Amino acid sequence: MPIFVPTRGTPPKPQSGWVHYVPDAATAMREAKAAAGDQDVMVHGAGLAQSLLREGLLDELEIHLIPVVLGDGRRLFGADRIDLDLTRVLDAPGVTHLRYRVAS
């Protein structure tokens, strides 16, 4: 499956034919959905998820919660209100997997 990477400025030269650099998050999502057909598209990183949530382009969110406070990093949720509907909880040793549907 190809990878679409939003980037600012001049994109780096790709190392392979399956990495595509695009100008923004919305373009990355549009092109990833077109490439995936009827399959799911995965998004990695809090910054990208925040952009897509603000633009209404993310319909599900899965969080893997571990009982460790690292004290640094980027917050996933900021000041914007986002309503989520819990659709699945899976408990496993050392982690809880939470899946949410973004409420419309």
What mean pLDDT is reported for the chain? 87
Q: Where are the beta strands (DSSP E) in the chain?
A: 3-6, 19-22, 60-65, 84-92, 95-102
Higher-confidence residue: 79 or 98?
A: 98
Is pLDDT above 80 for 14? no
pLDDT tens digit sequence for 21-64: 899 999 999 999 999 999 999 998 888 888 898 888 999 999 99
The better pLDDT of the pair 12, 42 is held by 42
Report the pLDDT averaged over residues 6-13. 80
The beta-carbon contacts of 52-55 under 8 Å, at least 24 apart in sequence, are 52/25, 52/26, 53/80, 53/82, 53/102, 54/80, 55/25, 55/26
